[in-house]
Amino acid sequence: MSANALGTEKTNVYKEGRSYSAVRSLCRFALWAYFRNCHVSVHDNVPTHSPMLVAGNHLNMVLDPAVLIVTIPHNRQLHFWALARFFKIPIIGRIFTAVGVLPVDTKTRSNAKLFESTVDCLGQNQAVAVFPEGTSYTAPHHLPFKDGLSWAAYEFLAQQHQRRQRGESASHSSITILPVGITYTTKDKWRSDVIVHYSETIQVGEQDRIQFAEDPKATVKQLTTRITESIESATINAPDWDTDNAMATARSILFGHRNGIQLNSYVKISQSLINILHPLMIPKLTELANLKARLLSFSRTTKLLQLSDQDIAVYQKQKITITAATLRLLRISLKLLIELPLFLPGIIIHSPVYLLGKAAESVEKFTESIAQDKIALALGLLIPLYSTLFYQIWRWMRFSFGGFLLGAFLIPTFVRYHMAMLDKRYDLLKELVAAWRIFVALTGGKSQRAEVEEAVELRKWCAANLKKVLLKLKDQGNEDAAYLVDQAQMFFQDGVAPAMD
């Protein structure tokens, strides 16, 4: 076989095929159904046809690869790593090979052997996606980044250099690394949001390769540090859970319900609040310690009451009474009842999916696995469900060609209609549940009523003192505080962020 033929064969191995296209379509449908919004931003031009390593944080199991597959600029095919032993399992090995997954032999001590398929793939101008943290997790900050991606980048450049020295064809003297930060507003909750930011690319070239040849370990560590800093700047990272929880409460007080904050500002707003509530900031401003403690106390109180900050915010400017709670409950109930016929058929048909998803959430121990469990169960039910609906329509039309076309039109239309109607009614249902809980608390005795009233007063205190602290820090030249004051203009004008009601 000629060299040209061999090169063509390798190119065909990594070229996107029908299997990968099918996976991308499935991922696109899954993300469309699971997330309410997917906000994507790209810092600079991403190469369309050159070797590239994509480095991302890994918060949400298989959803992270799905997010990258769907949102990668230029719709480039992504190749992921998997342990080589999985390729020895006949069915799994065939599936992995068909969708472009690359085997990694972690038992070998040779980098050339370890990254053999990766280097070969990059040599065909492909893109390889890696999660340097090595595992998915639930934590207030990212895990330490491992050096595997950096070693792979330098191994690729080293082998390209060796080929040039031997007089072989080697067209690549540099490689692009694309850091990407993935942020989920509530990663285990259906109809939440995902924010994807592709940061500025890192170019690793000939001078870096020379430095690597002189001091491999130090050079690799330097590259890993650059990748870490880039992803860190595109994601939310808190030093501990207390700071993260206090930030989330402060963010809700400042910006109100989900529509009060733009997704393109979500990460920076969150990180700015974390920087202000950081333990290292506490000694610099005496009021911060008390504010953070009260924010955490309010967060714990709302969780015990099974209410959200925005449920309490409804009574920020009005006195909380049984009459007010009753009227709100009746108004929301009536509104939901009027709109019920519009979305009830879809709810009934999809009820097994929703019930199984709720069951998965209660059974799954690991937060980072809940979303993938929900999606897997949903897809497992929806495929036979929609197939049955299609069959019944076609059968009703006596298996005619017109019946086939009608079914092919009605099923997707029904799904889109259901999703379009769902979000607003889902929010309304959550409001109804909250209104009912407040009504029960107010009519359930003095102690329960006192808890709700205390929560309202605690929120008022937090809002007033958060405003004072941010304005004081802004006057002192704190950039994070200045940014937050500028972003939360409605709060600083009225003292109250927009509530859902």
> How confident is the model over 472-490, as pLDDT tens digits?
999 999 999 999 999 999 8
pLDDT band at 495 (very low <50, low <70, confident <90, very high): low
Closest CA to 201 of 45, 400, 341: 45
Mean pLDDT of 378-406: 95
Q: Give the residue, 14 or 427, on which the prediction is more confident.
A: 427
Top-tier CATH class for 3-233: alpha beta
Question: What residues form DSSP beta bridges with 491?
Answer: none
Helix (H) or strand (E) holding 126: none
pLDDT band at 258 (very low <50, low <70, confident <90, very high): low
Number of H helices, E strands in the chain: 19, 8
Contact 43, 198 (CB under 8 A): yes
- 17 in helix, strand or coil? coil
Whole-number Å distance between alpha carbons of 213 and 195: 38
Which pTM does this prediction carry?
A: 0.92
- 65 in helix, strand or coil? helix
Tokens (6 digits) for 260? 């009060």
- What is the per-residue pLDDT for 134? 93
- The whole-angstrom distance between residue 191's C-alpha and the CA centroid of its chain comes to 11
Full 3-state SS string of 317-339: CCCCCHHHHHHHHHHHHHHHHHH
Whole-number Å distance between alpha carbons of 223 and 154: 10
Tokens (6 digits) for 208? 């870096």
List every span in the chain annotated with CATH 3.40.1130: 3-233
Whole-number Å distance between alpha carbons of 273 and 251: 7
Mean pLDDT of 252-258: 87
Whole-number Å distance between alpha carbons of 43 and 260: 24
- Per-residue pLDDT tens over the stretch 445-461: 788 889 999 999 999 99
pLDDT greater than 80 at residue 210? yes
HSE-up (13 A, CA, CB side) for residue 60 = 26
What Rg value do the Cα atoms of the chain yield, rounded? 27
Mean pLDDT of 412-436: 92
Count the Cβ atoms, other than its own, within 10 Å of residue 124. 15
pLDDT greater than 50 at residue 322? yes
Q: Judging by beta carbons within 10 Å of its beta carbon (0-12, 13-18, 19+), is residue 214 exposed, middle or buried? A: exposed
Tokens (6 digits) for 42? 């790209």
- What is the per-residue pLDDT for 470? 98
Contact 434, 332 (CB under 8 A): no
**Percent above pLDDT 70 for the chain:** 95
Contact 104, 117 (CB under 8 A): yes
Site of tokens 């605690």: 458
pLDDT greater than 90 at residue 145? yes
Measured over the CA atoms of residue 500, residue 314, residue 247 and residue 480, the dihedral's sign is positive
- What is the per-residue pLDDT for 481? 98
Question: What residues form DSSP beta bridges with 194?
Answer: 38, 184
Residue type, 409: F
